[in-house]
A and B are shown apart, each in its own frame.
Chain A
Amino acid sequence: LAKTTQPISMDSYEGQEVNITCSHNNIATNDYITWYQQFPSQGPRFIIQGYKTKVTNEVASLFIPADRKSSTLSLPRVSLSDTAVYYCLAQGGSYIPTFGRGTSLIVHP
């Protein structure tokens, strides 16, 4: 099972770009990297998923280098509503998803 490591917390300001890095040194060949966002007392919400290089959607970008031992979630121009906990998962054929404690992002005015 690929274990992921993220910073416990981050602070940012409205309008800034936020980059959250996740380390996954023992990622398996068939694992994908998936990021979820969770607000208090709600279930996590899918943000983005990728295997390697760069993936972009309407809310975020995901950068995964060639060695796939880490990945970076990039949130462009954050707002107060982006204050949440962000989880990085490595998930694949061996389906025991491990969330970890996530990164608590606080966006300040």
Chain B
Amino acid sequence: ETGVTQSPTHLIKTRGQQVTLRCSSQSGHNTVSWYQQALGQGPQFIFQYYREEENGRGNFPPRFSGLQFPNYSSELNVNALELDDSALYLCASSAGTGVYEQYFGPGTRLTVT
């Protein structure tokens, strides 16, 4: 059984640029959630995708957008990067929405300079 993978592992971008982060969900999982984790803080929910549709969104501006593909892999896109976007971005897959156990990937460390 393949776990959740994310790419890239590290990324450095300049303020104002755009970035795309990728996530492959665990086999058999149809739901992907994205989180932002700043240093010393807990993960903050960005949004969730269920069967290619957005299924819930946290308190993040529209420049944070996402996609889920037919194979349930997912992308997180962030436009007009700001310094405060520097964080660990985590992807989690689950067998469904609601109370299902989430399986997290190792994360992508994004640094915005």
Contacts and interface: CB of A to CB of B under 8 A. Distances in A.
Contacts of A95: 48, 55-56, 97-98
A98 B43 CA distance: 8
A34 B106 CA distance: 20
Contacts of A87: 42-43
A97 B35 CA distance: 10
A100 B42 contact: yes
B45 A43 contact: no
Instruction: Kindly state the interface size class of chain B when it binds its partner.
Output: 20 to 34
A81 interface: no
B88 interface: yes
B45 A96 contact: yes
Given A95-B48, A99-B44, A43 B107 contact: yes
Contacts of A92: 98-99
B8 interface: no
Contacts, number: 60
Contacts of B103: 46
Interface string A81-95: 000010100011101
Contacts of B44: 99
Interface hub of A34, A42, A95 (most chain B Cβ within 10 A): A95
A101 interface: yes
A45 B43 CA distance: 12
Nearest to B103: A46
B105 to A, nearest CB: 5
Nearest to B59: A96
Nearest to B44: A99
Nearest to B55: A95
Interface of A: 32, 34, 36, 41-46, 49, 85, 87, 91-93, 95-102
